[in-house]
Amino acid sequence: MRRLAGLLVVPLLLLSTAACGDDKASDSASKSEVPAITAGTKFGEKPTLSKGAGDPPKKLKTEVISEGDGAKLKNGDAAEVNYLGQAWDSDKPFDNSFDRKQPFGLILGAGQVIPGWEQGLVGQKAGSRVKLTIPPDLAYGEQGQGEDIPPNATLVFVVDVLSGKAVPKTPKGSTVAQDNIDLPKVGDNTDGKAPKVTIPKSDPPKKLVSKYVIESDGEAVKESDTVVVNYEAYVWKGAKKFDSTYDSGQVASFPLAQITVKGLKSGLVGKKVGSRVLLVMPPDQGFGDQAQQTIPAKSTLVWSVDILTKM
């Protein structure tokens, strides 16, 4: 089952199709060759990097610029970071989150970012500033990425680790009665398995539906949040499943400000973290007149979403 990349405005730091090395040690390249932070040296400040000199290291190089006092990041954690990225032989960044004033959220070990990030951030403490020098085989390899990252580029990132937290496995709260026979029914199990979604054969609603299946007492989700979720997603007609984090075995993170599906954003904003929510999206709240992979045009969509945590 293909995941719907079109749900989000895709961030630059996608998982590379390049081969993944596993050696984190640095080689013999001297420290003086690695691009230095020439301005914005403190945690939280937008950094400026000099241009690299000489041959870049052939292995991942991780340098802790300043160490925080938070918990160490581990695979499976939800992390939120600010970053600036620059190619080794360039003096201009190709991307940074400081200017957007929108931190970047990711799940470590979920394949959401290039391997050099996955390897370099595990074990770093929240509150730390880290500089990562990433060889091509742990970045974008021979294909590069767009116009700004050429093939076989070594990349240098300054990363501020703002926060990190473990992701709960299941929702937790009170079960809410589902007594409307014209709406789908969603299972209220909290055993980590996908809930059963039963869609009626009647006509779907014409307006967005967002209802609790399990209601927690957590914080309300804001539009500026990045939420970490498990979900099951169906087309109403024929009750055909088109996407599932349970099937993939990996939770998803959604920066709500960048969501392109209206009903997904509108249906989750205001709902409480730790809850399970039923969303029914008419076509104007979903993909509208455009077919999307296995989703026909003008489809009503049904989602069961577990809001596990937020960043």
The active-site residue, picked from 98, 104, 157, 287, is: 157
Question: What are the angstrom distances between the C-alpha of 214 and each of 156, 172, 249?
Answer: 44, 7, 22
| CA nearest neighbour of 117 among 73, 151, 66, 68 | 73
User: Residue 203 gets which letter from DSSP?
Assistant: P
Burial class of residue 243, CB neighbours in 10 A (0-12, 13-18, 19+):
buried
The active-site residue, picked from 114, 149, 199, 307, is: 114
Name the token pair of 120.
């370099």
Taking CA 285 as the corner, what is the angle to CA 284 and CA 286, rounded to the nearest 5 degrees? 95
Name the token pair of 245.
């984090």
Q: Is 199 a catalytic residue?
A: no
The active-site residue, picked from 37, 43, 95, 287, is: 95
The active-site residue, picked from 140, 242, 254, 287, is: 140
- Range list of β-strands (E), 207-256: 209-215, 226-235, 240-244, 252-255
The active-site residue, picked from 94, 148, 188, 246, is: 94
Q: Is 95 a catalytic residue?
A: yes
Tell me if residue 271 falls in helix, strand or coil: coil
Query: CA-CA distance, 153 to 134, in Å (whole number)?
Result: 9
Q: Is 43 a catalytic residue?
A: no
Q: Is 134 a catalytic residue?
A: no
The active-site residue, picked from 37, 43, 77, 83, is: 83
The residues that are catalytic are: 83, 94-95, 114, 140, 157
